């Protein structure tokens, strides 16, 4: 397990995190890999894991009856996948599928939720980081909605 | 502007009959003579052949959104201030055909315009109008691309300037540095005198052909009394300007105040009717229109006057960049008093006051500029809290 | 100004609303030289004249190539032209991309939608003298996978070992396994050194605005970010007043501007 610590410490998402908080994360972490085409999680499933991506590419998808699976966002090296584990009722809202062979660190969400409840400082540090990610995704979504490349833009 | 009395020794005094002589000589040598006449309840510039057509004994009273002809004694020929439009339409016509495109097989041939432009003689050009012509010269002939149609008309033009003896109520040429005394850019300049019941003109030439024309007219050398009187007439006009623009630092402060709340206020008054741009002697915006006949075999391209106040003016795919009236008014005012300096080295306004007179809602640029120079608060304190 | 006549060699469909026009001179006139980023005023007889960016390789002046969207009367008429038809051309006009200033630097090209067309000549020039610049990166964002311009060429560029090409779409369609998201998302991770980077950005004005901000956030100096601006144009030669943008004219003082010179203007409304 201790080999994951340097990897986590270097990841942009966890930059500046106090070493004792990092230790907690390491305690909930494991190395995972996904083959191309493999599902990371499905819409509606319980959100019990979140992923810190090391290599590869994952598409966040929605399946529609007429158009099939549509990718609404892609994340890769240096990104984080999944925040529904933080927000009740802790269910995934979308599918996530690896479009390239992907390696990531999986963090046990149930473990993390318990630790954050008892250590609010850890909880706050994680919340701050996730708030930033959510803001970036929200901004990006709004810009995508603007359809700037459309004829009437 | 240089004092009339410090000019060279060529000043002469002309009788009214000499003016008719001048018009006759110009016409016989092929000039189309244009000058002030009465028309449509105003003094307008039009083609003329006789001094009888001058608006003798007529003046004008101009206010924001108001123009009235008046009757004046003694019956001077040039007692008005400025006509609704300047001389711009003679050098930069409202509509000009640029070229034709004729269908030829599966392609086309382009046919340039051959017709030679008329030789124009202008009588009665005011100091502000001379300055406006000089500004348009810089726009159309001073850059890397020269407008050949404009140049052809300008090169041939013969200009007789007349000093103002009276400042119009909407005039502010003094603060813009363009008048009331004429500066340069004329062939002959005159000051009309009416004292002692003797109607006469103190005239001088600034070019060779101006001097040649003067030499052929019945007149006598001017005395120092004549020159002093002419100078006094112009000085009178300079001291009675009803309006002024504070020009120091104006170009920079206008850009700095590009989000001033005053723009919204004037924007709500402005009708975007484009009158100001139509009467302005320096506005040069134009559009090009392509037309074709029903058979499609004959096409032509026209250049026509345009105005930044129209929605179409700033249209790019998807919509107009300036849909709101305040933005269009702002574009015009900032161009005239700020961007023009970056583009051409001077302000674009000559202080003729036409935009004030002919604005249907009486927007006064001098008032707007004064308001826009004031610092504005970024937020209003809520006194009710 | 009087147009020169050119003959249509080919009208090529790029996407649903975008096409490329290839022209050859009439009467054996010499090669048409231009700077990357310049534009021409193209005239379709009896319909009208519009400004269109030149999208061809400046190193191959034998053919005059433009790429544009069909959005109005003139561009739709252009799209319907046949080989051998004639078009009037005035130009080239405007200030182009700073290819010279880019020497010795890393170069990031950020294109949005049709914005890739006026950038293509700059890319061609940079690739022709590849050793003159450091890292070369293209970030290209467009609406959907079907709107990707110059697809084959993009794939060839990406296949090069010395050119990093990243493509993203605002919205994916089924079967798209590439990046999804706004083009600015590609900036934080793109492989260039911000301290020695020069950026060339072209696309819709909003896209250029948030791209410039994101580039600055990453540490690219605002004096080394260049945008290509667009306004209504009628004469192309600074006489009609239509293309005024702040104190200058886009036809003479642009369309390529350094970001520090226009940063204030692009964040204002209705300027």
Q: Which residues in chain A touch residue C171, judged by CB atoms under 8 angstroms apart? A: 70, 72, 144
Please judge whether C182 and A69 are an interchain contact, meaning their C-beta atoms are less than 8 angstroms apart. no
- From B280's Cα to the closest Cα of chain C, the distance in A is 15
Together in a domain, C15 and C128: no
Q: Is C178 on the interface with B (CB under 8 A)?
A: no
- How many Å apart are CA C245 and CA C252, to the nearest integer? 11
pLDDT at site B2? 42
Q: Which residues in chain A touch residue C174, judged by CB atoms under 8 angstroms apart? A: 67-70
pLDDT at site B114? 85
Note whether residue C215 is domain-resident. yes
Q: Which two tokens stand for residue C141?
A: 């964002």
pLDDT at site A152? 57
Residue C64 CB contacts under 8 Å (≥ 6 apart), including other chains: C6, C22, C23, C24, C25, C32, C40, C54, C56, C89
Note whether residue C240 is domain-resident. no
- From B298's Cα to the closest Cα of chain C, the distance in A is 8
Out of C93, C119, C147, pick the residue that ends a domain: C93
- From C133's Cα to the closest Cα of chain B, the distance in A is 33
Q: Which residues in chain A touch residue B317, judged by CB atoms under 8 angstroms apart? A: 151
- Kindly provide the ipTM of the predicted complex, given to two decimals: 0.92
Together in a domain, C76 and C141: no
Chain B nearest-CA residue for A151: B318
pLDDT at site B384? 62
Taking the CB of residue B33, how many other CB atoms lie within 10 A of it? 21
Together in a domain, C221 and C131: yes
Identity of the residue in C172, C176, C182 whose CB atom sits nearest the CB atom of A143: C182
- From A143's Cα to the closest Cα of chain B, the distance in A is 17
B95-110: average pLDDT: 92
- Using one digit for the tens of pLDDT, what is the confidence trace for B311-341? 999 999 878 999 999 999 999 999 999 999 9
Please judge whether B101 and C230 are an interchain contact, meaning their C-beta atoms are less than 8 angstroms apart. no
CB contact at 8 A, C34 and C54:
yes
Please judge whether C1 and B331 are an interchain contact, meaning their C-beta atoms are less than 8 angstroms apart. no
- How many Å apart are CA B46 and CA B35, to the nearest integer? 6
Domains parsed from chain A with CATH numbers: 4-144 (2.60.120.10)
- From C260's Cα to the closest Cα of chain B, the distance in A is 16
Q: Which residues in chain C touch residue A68, judged by CB atoms under 8 angstroms apart? A: 174-175
CB contact at 8 A, C119 and C67:
no
Together in a domain, C77 and C110: no
Q: Which residues in chain C touch residue A63, judged by CB atoms under 8 angstroms apart? A: none
pLDDT at site B383? 60
CB contact at 8 A, A60 and A71:
yes
- How many Å apart are CA B69 and CA C11, to the nearest integer? 62
Chain B nearest-CA residue for A149: B318
CATH number at residue C165: 3.40.50.80
Note whether residue C86 is domain-resident. yes
Together in a domain, C115 and C206: yes
Together in a domain, C76 and C128: no
Together in a domain, C88 and C116: no
Identity of the residue in B143, B288, B296 whose CB atom sits nearest the CB atom of C234: B288
Together in a domain, C191 and C115: yes
**Which residues, listed in sequence order, are joined to residue C99 by a DSSP beta bridge?**
none
- 3-state per-residue secondary structure call for chain B: CCCHHHCCCCCEEECHHHHHHHHHHHHHCCEEEEEEEEECCEEEEEECCCHHHCCCCEEEEEECCEEEEEECCCCCCCCCCCCCCCCHHHHCCCEEEEEEEEEECCEEEEEECCCCCCEEEEEEECHHHHHHHHHHHHHHHCCCCCCHHHHHHHHHCEEEEECCCCCCCCCCHHHHCCCCCCCCCCCEEEEEECHHHCCEEEEEECCHHHHHHHHCCCEEECCHHHHHHHHHHHHHHHHCCCCCCCCCCHHHHHHHCCCCCHHHHHHHHCCCCCHHHHHCCCCCCEEEEEEECCCCCEEEEEEEECCCCCCHHHEECCEECCCCHHHHHHHHHHHHHHHHHHHHCCCCCCCCCHHHHCCCCCCCHHHHHHHHHCCCCCCCCCCCC
Chain C nearest-CA residue for A76: C179
A114-133: average pLDDT: 94
For C239, phi then psi, to 5°, come to -115, -15
Together in a domain, C118 and C219: yes
- Picking from C254, C264, C185, C194, the residue whose alpha carbon sits closest to that of residue C225 is C194
pLDDT at site B74? 87
- Picking from C41, C38, C4, C189, the residue whose alpha carbon sits closest to that of residue C119 is C38
- Using one digit for the tens of pLDDT, what is the confidence trace for A42-64? 999 999 999 999 999 999 999 88
Q: Is C213 on the interface with A (CB under 8 A)?
A: no
- From B47's Cα to the closest Cα of chain A, the distance in A is 49
Supply the range of the domain harboring residue C197.
106-228
How many domains, chain C? 2
Taking the CB of residue C165, how many other CB atoms lie within 10 A of it? 19
Identity of the residue in A57, A59, A140 whose CB atom sits nearest the CB atom of C185: A140
In the predicted model, is pLDDT for residue B6 greater than 50? no
Chain C nearest-CA residue for A144: C170
Range scoring the smallest mean pLDDT among A66-70, A90-94, B199-203, C59-63: A66-70
| DSSP state for residue C209 in the 8-state scheme | H
Q: Which residues in chain A touch residue C116, judged by CB atoms under 8 angstroms apart? A: none
Q: Is A151 on the interface with B (CB under 8 A)?
A: yes
In the predicted model, is pLDDT for residue A133 greater than 70? yes
Together in a domain, C85 and C118: no
pLDDT at site C61? 84
Q: Which two tokens stand for residue B202?
A: 């103190």
- From A77's Cα to the closest Cα of chain C, the distance in A is 9
- How many Å apart are CA B82 and CA B59, to the nearest integer? 10
Which chains are within 8 Å of B by 3+ CB pairs? Answer: A, C
Q: What is the DSSP secondary-structure string of C140-207?
A: EEESSGGG-SSHHHHHHHHHSTT-EEEEEESS--TT--SEES-GGGGTTTSS--GGGEEEEEESSHHH
Identity of the residue in A69, A78, A149 whose CB atom sits nearest the CB atom of C143: A149
- Chain C interface disruption, residue of A68, A71, A102, most C CBs within 10 A: A71
Q: Is C241 on the interface with B (CB under 8 A)?
A: yes
Note the pTM of the prediction, 2 decimals. 0.91
Q: Is C25 on the interface with B (CB under 8 A)?
A: no
Unique residue bearing structure tokens 């908080």? A21
In the predicted model, is pLDDT for residue B7 greater than 50? no
* Burial of B313 per CB tally in 10 Å (0-12, 13-18, 19+): buried
In the predicted model, is pLDDT for residue B234 greater than 70? yes
Please judge whether A148 and C173 are an interchain contact, meaning their C-beta atoms are less than 8 angstroms apart. no
pLDDT at site B281? 98
Out of C64, C93, C122, pick the residue that ends a domain: C93
Q: Is B317 on the interface with A (CB under 8 A)?
A: yes
B341-359: average pLDDT: 97
- How many Å apart are CA B367 and CA A85, to the nearest integer? 63
- Picking from C229, C219, C231, the residue whose alpha carbon sits closest to that of residue C263 is C229
Please judge whether B286 and C235 are an interchain contact, meaning their C-beta atoms are less than 8 angstroms apart. yes
CATH number at residue C69: 2.40.30.10
Q: Which residues in chain B touch residue C88, judged by CB atoms under 8 angstroms apart? A: 101, 108, 110
Q: Is A149 on the interface with B (CB under 8 A)?
A: no
Note whether residue C173 is domain-resident. yes
CB contact at 8 A, B154 and B205:
no
Q: What is the DSSP secondary-structure string of chain A?
A: -TTHHHHHHHSGGGTT--HHHHHHHHHTEEEEEE-TT-EEE-TTSB--EEEEEEESEEEEEEEETTTEEEEEEEEETT-EE--TTTSTT-B-SSEEEESS-EEEEEEEHHHHHHHHHH-HHHHHHHHHHHHHHHHHHHHHHHHHHHTTTSTT-
Of the pLDDT bands very low, low, confident and very high (cuts 50, 70, 90), residue B344 is very high
Q: Which residues in chain C touch residue A73, judged by CB atoms under 8 angstroms apart? A: 180-181
Of the pLDDT bands very low, low, confident and very high (cuts 50, 70, 90), residue B4 is very low
Please judge whether A151 and B319 are an interchain contact, meaning their C-beta atoms are less than 8 angstroms apart. no
Out of C59, C93, C127, pick the residue that ends a domain: C93
- Using one digit for the tens of pLDDT, what is the confidence trace for B267-281? 999 999 999 999 999
Together in a domain, C123 and C193: yes
- From B315's Cα to the closest Cα of chain A, the distance in A is 12
Chain A nearest-CA residue for C171: A72
Together in a domain, C143 and C193: yes
Q: How many residues does chain C have?
A: 271
- Chain C interface disruption, residue of B105, B108, B303, B313, most C CBs within 10 A: B108
Q: Is A148 on the interface with B (CB under 8 A)?
A: no
Helix axes B16-28, B208-215, angle to 10 degrees: 120
- Using one digit for the tens of pLDDT, what is the confidence trace for B166-179? 999 999 999 999 99
pLDDT at site B378? 64
Note whether residue C235 is domain-resident. no
- How many Å apart are CA B194 and CA A115, to the nearest integer? 102
Of the pLDDT bands very low, low, confident and very high (cuts 50, 70, 90), residue B64 is very high
pLDDT 10s digit of each residue in chain C, 271 long?
Answer: 789 999 999 999 999 999 999 999 887 777 899 999 999 999 999 899 999 999 999 999 889 999 999 999 999 999 999 999 999 999 999 999 999 999 999 999 999 999 999 999 999 999 999 999 999 999 999 999 999 999 999 999 999 999 999 999 999 988 898 999 999 999 999 999 999 999 999 999 999 999 999 999 999 999 999 999 999 999 999 999 999 999 999 999 999 999 999 999 998 999 9
CB contact at 8 A, C111 and C37:
no
B121-144: average pLDDT: 97
Residue C166 CB contacts under 8 Å (≥ 6 apart), including other chains: C137, C138, C139, C140, C179, C186, C190
- How many Å apart are CA C55 and CA C64, to the nearest integer? 8
Note whether residue C261 is domain-resident. no
- From C122's Cα to the closest Cα of chain B, the distance in A is 25
- Picking from B282, B284, B286, the residue whose alpha carbon sits closest to that of residue B347 is B282
- From A107's Cα to the closest Cα of chain C, the distance in A is 24
pLDDT at site B340? 97
- How many Å apart are CA B57 and CA B75, to the nearest integer? 4
CB contact at 8 A, C192 and C135:
yes
């Amino acid at each position: 397990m201790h080999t994951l610590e340097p990897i986590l410490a270097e990841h942009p998402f966890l930059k500046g995190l106090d070493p004792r908080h990092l230790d907690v994360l390491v305690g909930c972490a494991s190395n995972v890999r996904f083959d191309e085409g493999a599902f990371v999680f499905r819409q509606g499933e319980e959100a019990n894991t979140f992923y810190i991506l090391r290599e590869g590419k994952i598409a966040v998808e929605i399946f529609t009856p007429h158009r099939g699976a549509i990718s609404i966002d892609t994340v890769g090296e240096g990104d984080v996948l999944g925040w529904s584990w933080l927000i009740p009722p802790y269910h995934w809202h979308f599918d996530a599928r690896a479009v390239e062979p992907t390696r990531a660190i999986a963090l046990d969400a149930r473990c993390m939720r318990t630790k954050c409840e008892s250590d609010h400082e850890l909880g706050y540090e994680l919340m701050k980081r996730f708030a930033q990610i959510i803001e970036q995704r929200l901004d990006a979504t709004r810009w995508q909605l603007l359809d700037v490349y459309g004829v009437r833009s | 502007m240089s004092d009339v009395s410090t000019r060279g020794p060529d000043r002469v005094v002309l009788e009214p009959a000499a003016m008719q002589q001048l018009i006759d000589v110009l016409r016989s040598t092929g000039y189309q003579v244009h000058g002030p006449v009465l028309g449509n309840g105003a003094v307008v510039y039009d083609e003329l052949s006789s001094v009888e057509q001058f608006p003798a004994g007529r003046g004008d009273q101009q206010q924001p959104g108001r123009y009235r002809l008046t009757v004046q004694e003694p019956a001077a020929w040039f007692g008005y201030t400025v006509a609704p439009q300047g001389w711009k339409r003679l050098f930069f016509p409202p509509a000009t055909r640029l070229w034709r495109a004729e269908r030829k097989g599966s392609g086309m041939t382009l046919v340039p315009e051959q017709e030679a432009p008329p030789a124009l003689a202008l009588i009665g050009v005011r100091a502000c109008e001379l300055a406006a012509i000089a500004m348009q010269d810089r726009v159309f002939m001073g850059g890397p691309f020269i407008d050949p149609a404009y140049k052809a008309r300008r090169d041939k033009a013969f200009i007789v300037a007349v000093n103002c003896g009276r400042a119009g109520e909407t005039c502010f040429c003094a603060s813009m540095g363009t008048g009331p005394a004429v500066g340069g850019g004329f062939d002959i300049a005159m000051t009309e005198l009416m004292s002692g019941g003797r109607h006469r003109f103190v005239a001088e030439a600034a070019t060779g052909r101006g001097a040649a024309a003067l030499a052929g007219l019945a007149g006598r050398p001017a005395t120092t009394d004549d020159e002093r009187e002419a100078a006094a007439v112009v000085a009178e006009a300079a001291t009675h300007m009803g309006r002024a623009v504070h020009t120091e630092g104006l170009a920079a402060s206008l850009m700095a105040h590009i989000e001033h709340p005053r723009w919204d206020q004037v924007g709500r008054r402005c009708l975007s009717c484009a009158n100001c741009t139509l009467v302005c002697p320096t506005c040069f915006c134009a559009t090009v229109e392509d037309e074709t006949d029903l058979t499609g075999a004959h096409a032509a391209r026209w250049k026509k006057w345009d105005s930044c106040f129209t929605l179409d003016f700033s249209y790019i795919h998807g919509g107009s960049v300036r849909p709101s009236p305040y933005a269009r008014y702002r574009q015009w005012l900032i161009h005239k008093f700020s961007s023009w300096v970056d583009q051409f080295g001077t302000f674009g306004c000559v202080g003729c006051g036409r935009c004030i007179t002919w604005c249907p809602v009486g927007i006064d640029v001098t008032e707007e500029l004064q308001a826009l120079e004031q610092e504005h608060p970024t937020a209003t304190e809520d006194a009710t809290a | 100004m009087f147009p020169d006549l050119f003959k249509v060699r080919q009208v090529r469909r790029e996407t649903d609303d975008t096409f490329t026009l290839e022209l050859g001179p009439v009467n054996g006139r010499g090669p048409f030289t231009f700077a990357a980023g310049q534009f021409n005023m193209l005239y379709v007889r009896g319909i009208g004249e519009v400004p269109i960016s030149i999208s061809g390789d400046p190193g191959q002046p034998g053919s005059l190539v433009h790429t544009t969207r069909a959005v109005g009367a003139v561009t739709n008429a252009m799209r319907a032209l046949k080989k051998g038809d004639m078009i009037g051309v005035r130009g080239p006009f405007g200030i182009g991309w700073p290819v010279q200033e880019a020497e010795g630097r890393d170069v990031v090209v950020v294109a949005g939608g049709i914005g890739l067309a006026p950038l293509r000549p700059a890319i061609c020039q940079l690739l022709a003298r590849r050793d003159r610049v450091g890292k070369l990166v293209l970030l290209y964002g467009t609406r959907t996978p079907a709107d990707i311009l110059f697809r084959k060429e993009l794939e060839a560029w990406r296949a090069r070992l010395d050119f990093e090409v990243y493509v993203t779409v605002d919205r994916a369609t089924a079967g798209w396994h590439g990046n999804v998201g706004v083009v600015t998302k590609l900036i934080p991770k793109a492989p260039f050194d911000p301290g020695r980077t020069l950026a060339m950005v072209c696309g819709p004005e909003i896209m250029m605005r948030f791209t410039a901000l994101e580039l600055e956030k990453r540490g690219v100096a605002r004096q080394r970010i260049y945008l290509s601006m667009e306004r209504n144009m009628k004469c192309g030669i600074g006489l009609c007043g239509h293309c005024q943008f702040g104190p200058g004219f886009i036809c003479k003082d642009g369309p390529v501007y350094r970001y520090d010179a226009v940063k204030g203007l692009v964040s204002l409304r209705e300027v």
